[in-house]
């Protein structure tokens, strides 16, 4: 099936929202509405829907076919951790995410930091049937460096789980070790890379969230060496990745600490590092 353009899809979504009395306010957010890093041919369409009865959108799939033929449809938690969204993959390859909220949430958007941040990047109104007053703070809050407590907690958390993962690997729990290496440890590593970019990078650089556009904002050395931290489902690969994790985390966290004049949060890091090597070496890897 020939793919439709995003423009035609947004027009289709607007007609759908206009004709459904349950939907009172609908906004296009995300890449289709922002100016910085705008949508490309692989981008989804994010729609925030404010409805009298959100469950009619979330639980009843009958309305989807009115938009077009589709392959998949499922619900999951939304990015704000405040409810659910329905994600639909249509047969022309376009995926559309419908984040659904009760009408009463409109007045709370400005007070929700994550919702406000999404809207500050840009949005397009599809329908506003009740002339709702959507209050969005004018400027996005700038990121701030970590406090000593935040930094110390993350460093200790990272080293604890680095050793914990090596123990799982030593025991032969490959999948558990793999999930920790490519999951939780990766999350902490990316957070540290963001702090590093904040204190060492250009002022005002957009650091996004999670791993979004990591290659744009992270230190080029971290981008270059990040592949050394990614493991495959094989014991040697996991062991090598844990060593790569340690190397990258060491200089990232050290340079953050130096920039912020923090004392070392781990008293015997050398001892922990030697213990990690013993765990990995004992597997013959």
Q: What is residue 37's predicted lDDT score, i.e. its pLDDT?
A: 67
CA dist 46 and 4 (Å) reads: 16
Structure tokens at 24: 């009172």
The answer as to whether 141 is a domain residue is no
Q: Which domain holds residue 230?
A: 148-281
Same domain for 159 and 248? Answer: yes
> Of 217, 200, 199, whose CA–CA distance to 209 is shortest?
217
The answer as to whether 121 is a domain residue is yes
Same domain for 259 and 196? Answer: yes
Note the residue count of the chain: 285
Same domain for 21 and 94? Answer: yes
In sequence order, what are the residues at sequence separation of 6 or more whose Cβ sits closer than 8 angstroms to the Cβ of residue 41? none
Q: How many domains does the chain have?
A: 2
Each residue's pLDDT tens digit in the chain (285 positions)?
A: 445 688 899 999 999 999 999 999 999 998 888 777 677 778 899 999 999 999 999 999 999 999 999 999 999 988 777 778 999 999 999 999 999 999 988 877 767 777 777 787 888 999 999 998 887 766 656 678 999 999 999 999 999 999 999 999 999 999 999 999 999 999 999 999 999 999 997 776 777 777 788 998 999 999 999 999 999 999 999 999 999 999 999 999 999 999 999 999 998 999 999 999 999 987 555
The answer as to whether 227 is a domain residue is yes
Same domain for 65 and 162? Answer: no
Scanning the structure block, which residue is given the tokens 């329908």? Answer: 127
Single out the residue in 128, 160, 177 at which a domain terminates: 128
CATH number of the domain where residue 186 is located: 1.20.120.330
The answer as to whether 105 is a domain residue is yes
Q: What is residue 140's predicted lDDT score, i.e. its pLDDT?
A: 58
The answer as to whether 133 is a domain residue is no
Same domain for 160 and 121? Answer: no
CA dist 112 and 119 (Å) reads: 11
């Amino acid at each position: 099936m020939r793919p439709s353009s995003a423009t035609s899809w947004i027009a289709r979504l607007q007609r759908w929202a206009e004709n459904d009395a349950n939907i009172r306010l609908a906004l296009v957010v995300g890449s289709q509405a922002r100016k910085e890093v705008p949508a490309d041919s692989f981008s989804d369409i994010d729609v925030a829907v404010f409805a009298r009865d959100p469950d009619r959108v979330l639980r009843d799939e009958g309305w989807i076919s009115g938009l077009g033929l589709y392959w998949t449809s499922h619900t999951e938690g939304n990015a704000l951790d405040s409810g659910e969204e329905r994600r639909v993959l249509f047969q022309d390859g376009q995926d559309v995410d419908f984040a659904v909220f009760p009408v009463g949430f409109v007045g709370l958007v400005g007070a929700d930091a994550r919702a406000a941040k999404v809207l500050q990047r840009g949005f397009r109104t599809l329908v506003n049937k009740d002339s709702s007053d959507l209050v969005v703070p004018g400027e996005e809050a700038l990121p701030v460096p970590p406090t000593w407590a935040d930094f110390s907690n993350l460093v200790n958390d990272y080293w604890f789980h680095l050793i914990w993962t090596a123990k799982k690997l030593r025991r032969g729990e490959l999948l558990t070790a793999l999930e920790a290496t490519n999951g939780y440890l990766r999350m902490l590593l990316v957070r540290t890379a963001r702090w590093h970019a904040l204190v060492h990078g250009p002022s005002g650089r957009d650091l996004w969230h999670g791993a979004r556009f990591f290659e744009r904002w992270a230190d080029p050395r971290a981008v270059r060496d990040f592949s050394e931290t990614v493991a495959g489902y094989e014991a040697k690969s996991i062991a090598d990745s844990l060593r790569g994790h340690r190397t990258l985390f060491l200089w990232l966290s050290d340079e953050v600490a130096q920039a912020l004049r923090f004392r070392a949060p781990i008293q015997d890091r050398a001892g922990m590092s030697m213990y990690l090597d013993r765990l990995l070496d004992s597997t013959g890897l």
